Amino acid sequence: MESTHKGRKNTKIGVVVSNGGDKTVTVKVESVIMHPLYHRFVRRSRKFRAHDELNDCQVGDKVQITESRPLSRSKRWRVSRVVERAK
């Protein structure tokens, strides 16, 4: 019989770029990848909508987001903790 243990949820660390919606923040996550042809490091970024239950994230905060079930059409992530507050 197969185990029903679920794997760990995916987590990412990024910076809040918008907190306009109610209980919603937009988090920009940057990653550095090697270009396949030119063999140089290239910086890529992607934005994720995340659920912020307490509405305490401000623009510029560094946060950790965790994958979750779909919460709306665009929200698939939750803010798990604030790593660093904006200055």
pLDDT per residue as tens digits for the range 48-60: 999 999 999 999 9
E-only strand ranges, the chain: 11-18, 24-34, 41-51, 62-67, 75-84
Alpha carbon distance 53, 39 (integer Å): 42
- Which one has a higher pLDDT value, 87 or 24? 24
| Residue type at position 41 | F
The residues with which 29 forms a beta bridge, in sequence order, are: 46
The whole-model pTM stands at 0.85
pLDDT at 3 over 80: no
Going from the C-alpha of 49 to that of each of 11, 24, 26, 85, the distances in angstroms are 13, 7, 5, 19
Domains along the chain with CATH numbers: 11-84 (2.40.50.140)
